């Protein structure tokens, strides 16, 4: 019998209605696909057209291999079940990853398709666990973890959770689960298990690299790089929930100008519209958007405007969008995706016609007024109950394709802006999936609480997103929910968060501050409240000079930020880099989750505990300088752990001295 054959540049194995295909997909990289009954499909959810690469395929009776650069897939058949098992090796013949064996009498399957009668399949794929392996990336989860070995993760998006199923292994490979289905992954000690609740085929991509930087570059070539960051992305962004009228927003910008404080972006948050889905300013509160944008631009400030994917049932666009099939559809019951302020449904970002419709409205009502940056909120999307099985998109059921939604939401505005002449679009989103980075997605960590534990979670979230190929990332400085600017305890948290924000890819102040200010129309009708003041002068006289010092520090970092942003654009290198990313051979860095490198030059050690005025810092081998005190530290082969001072007005930051 002929189990193996070559199709083009792919190695193919067939048996008992399964077709397994392994294809070179970029330098040192392979794509693995498998179907049970049917032909392998070329779904391009995240992967781009690969560069042509040399490939060596060797076929024997019950054994075959395919080599692409530094990675080889060795495929053997067991002598009992006639089942194919793949082992991936690097250029030195070292095992990177291996599918689990059938285990004879246990009759296990490393690629297990479970059919839905009359439909597609649930899929489980398993790989052997490896002692000593560290797993980094996977997107953004609200947990104080950096190394996911031993963890189980939901493959689904939620408010403040972004599932980006790409990881970097300390063993020298990167792995993309190229499947947007709702599911889970468990990085167990004995095995790694991927599960998709509904899918048509197995599809993953793997690359070999001796360093995380090599892996990032290969992943970027496979799924895309971020654009070049415009100059306004390097400075300070001012935001709050919410500037509710034109004059209020302009007066805040003018006050920054009067105080001599440079801001690059100011944000007009949600419910500046008459109804969700109208995609325009409410003329009662924003009577002259063109004049507003011009005055801001004259001050050197860009205006970012919030856009939600929800369309209220009362929106002027709802009837047409429903009739044209441009909305997500509920499988059963009412056609409602979320209840917030009023009933609404999400536009279907997987539908090219829906994307064109929404951008056409936004181009007319925002872009033509001079607005070039959009805040694409609710990007998961945030279904009221996260009932993933109850919604259907243009390209398939949510349970099968739903995780690609934020990527295509970003594409909606990226494509529109590019076609309108914007060379390097940047849009703020609350979620991402694999490939989002190529559409100018700047991801922020969602509606998190204003608590110390949530602050600690964000360090891990930002570093994990960097590993997962999303270098543009930020957070609401001070957290989103629950901050009271008049409370001394909160002011300390806010100071520490603000200091850290200076050393994030984008420095952005936002939050739903307490207490709220009620807002009414001229006729007395209530509209959504506005949060308490959230400008740098809103936190007391003692806090103000600390905040303005770090605004000035951010300005001084512009030349350096241009350099590291260019590295992200060219190589996919994160801006925030875990210590292990920058020092992969230093085992002391493997699980460091409370300090990181900002680019390659600065070690940043945020203060993450209430009342702390010192903290321990680990220095890898080399010479280091405190950027505030000029104190010097020298670390030998084994590195150096030491306590450093961290008074309230200062975050510990150290420059790596290059001989």
Positions annotated as catalytic residues are 377, 380, 447
SS (H, E, C) 514-545: CCCEEEECCCCCEEEEECCCCCHHHHCCCCHH
Question: Exposed e or buried b for every residue in 232-269, given b needs 16+ CB within 10 A?
Answer: bbbbbbbbbbbbbbbeebbebbeebeeeebbbbbbbbb
Question: 93 preceded by cis ω (within 30°)?
Answer: no
Tokens describing residue 42: 């070329």
Please answer whether residues 292 and 250 qualify as being in contact, where contact means their C-beta atoms are separated by less than 8 angstroms. Answer: yes
Q: Would the CA dihedral through 162, 163, 164, 168 be positive or negative?
A: positive
Please answer whether residues 199 and 395 qualify as being in contact, where contact means their C-beta atoms are separated by less than 8 angstroms. Answer: no
Tokens describing residue 220: 């970027």
Question: 347 preceded by cis ω (within 30°)?
Answer: no
Nearest Cα to Cα of residue 142 among 573, 351, 451, 398: 451
218 sits in the region (left: phi over 0; alpha: psi -120 to 50; else beta) called alpha
Please answer whether residues 595 and 460 qualify as being in contact, where contact means their C-beta atoms are separated by less than 8 angstroms. Answer: no
Question: Exposed e or buried b for every residue in 379-391, given b needs 16+ CB within 10 A?
Answer: bbbbbeeeebebb
Nearest Cα to Cα of residue 281 among 263, 293, 297: 293
């Amino acid at each position: 019998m002929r189990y193996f054959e070559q199709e083009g540049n792919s190695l193919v194995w067939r048996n008992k209605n399964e077709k397994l295909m392994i294809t070179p997909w970029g330098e040192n990289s392979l794509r693995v696909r498998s179907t049970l009954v049917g032909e392998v499909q070329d779904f391009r959810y995240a992967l781009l057209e690969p560069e042509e690469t040399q490939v060596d395929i060797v076929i024997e009776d019950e054994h075959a291999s395919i080599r692409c650069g530094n990675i080889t897939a060795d495929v053997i058949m067991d002598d009992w079940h006639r089942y194919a098992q793949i082992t991936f090796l690097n250029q030195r013949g070292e095992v990177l990853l291996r599918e689990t064996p059938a285990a004879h009498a246990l009759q296990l399957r490393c690629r297990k398709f479970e059919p839905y009668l009359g439909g597609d399949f649930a899929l489980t794929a398993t790989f052997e666990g490896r002692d000593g392996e560290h797993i980094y990336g996977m997107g953004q989860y609200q947990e104080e973890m950096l190394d996911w070995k031993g963890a189980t993760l939901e493959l689904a998006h939620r408010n403040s959770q972004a599932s980006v199923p790409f990881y970097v292994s300390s063993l020298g490979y990167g792995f993309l689960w190229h499947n947007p289905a709702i599911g889970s992954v468990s990085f167990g000690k004995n095995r790694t298990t991927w599960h998709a609740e509904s899918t048509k085929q197995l599809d993953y991509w793997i690359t070999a690299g001796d360093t995380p930087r090599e892996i990032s570059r290969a992943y970027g070539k496979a799924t895309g790089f971020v654009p070049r960051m415009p100059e306004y992305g390097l400075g300070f962004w001012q935001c709050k929930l919410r500037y509710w009228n034109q004059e209020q927003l302009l007066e805040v910008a003018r006050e920054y100008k009067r105080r001599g404080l440079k801001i690059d972006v100011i944000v007009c948050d949600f419910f500046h519209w008459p109804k969700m889905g109208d995609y325009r300013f409410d003329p009662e509160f924003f009577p002259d958007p063109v004049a507003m944008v011009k005055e801001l631009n004259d001050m050197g400030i860009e205006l970012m405007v919030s856009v939600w994917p929800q369309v209220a049932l009362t929106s002027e666009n709802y009837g047409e969008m429903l009739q044209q099939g441009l909305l997500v559809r509920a499988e059963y019951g009412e056609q409602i995706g979320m209840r917030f302020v009023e009933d609404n449904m999400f536009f279907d970002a997987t539908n090219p016609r829906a994307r064109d419709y929404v951008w056409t409205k936004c181009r007319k009502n925002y872009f033509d007024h001079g607005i070039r940056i959009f805040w694409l909120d609710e990007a998961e999307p945030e279904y009221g109950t996260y009932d993933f099985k109850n919604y259907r998109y243009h390209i398939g059921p949510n349970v099968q394709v739903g995780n690609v939604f934020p990527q295509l939401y970003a594409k909606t505005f990226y494509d529109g802006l590019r076609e309108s002449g914007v060379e390097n679009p940047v849009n703020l989103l609350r979620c991402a999936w694999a490939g989002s980075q190529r559409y100018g997605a700047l991801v922020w960590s969602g509606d998190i609480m204003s608590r110390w534990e949530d602050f600690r979670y964000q360090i891990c979230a930002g570093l994990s997103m960097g590993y997962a190929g999303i270098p543009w990332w930020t957070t609401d400085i001070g957290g989103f929910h629950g901050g009271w600017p008049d409370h001394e305890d909160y002011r300390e948290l806010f100071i520490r968060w603000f200091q850290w924000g200076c050393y994030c890819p984008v420095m952005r102040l936002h939050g739903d501050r307490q207490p709220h200010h009620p807002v009414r129309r001229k006729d007395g009708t209530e509209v959504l409240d506005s949060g308490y003041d959230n400008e740098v002068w809103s936190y007391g006289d003692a806090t103000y000079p600390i905040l303005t010092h770090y605004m000035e520090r951010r300005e001084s970092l512009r030349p350096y930020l241009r350099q590291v942003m260019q590295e992200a654009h060219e190589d996919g290198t994160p801006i925030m880099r875990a210590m292990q990313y920058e020092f992969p051979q230093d085992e002391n860095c493997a699980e460091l989750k409370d300090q990181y490198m900002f680019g390659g030059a600065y070690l940043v050690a945020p203060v993450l505990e209430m009342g702390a005025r010192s903290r321990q810092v680990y220095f890898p081998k080399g010479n280091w300088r405190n950027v505030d005190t000029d104190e010097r530290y020298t670390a030998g082969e084994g590195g150096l752990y030491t306590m450093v001072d961290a008074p309230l007005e200062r975050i510990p930051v150290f420059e790596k001295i290059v001989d």
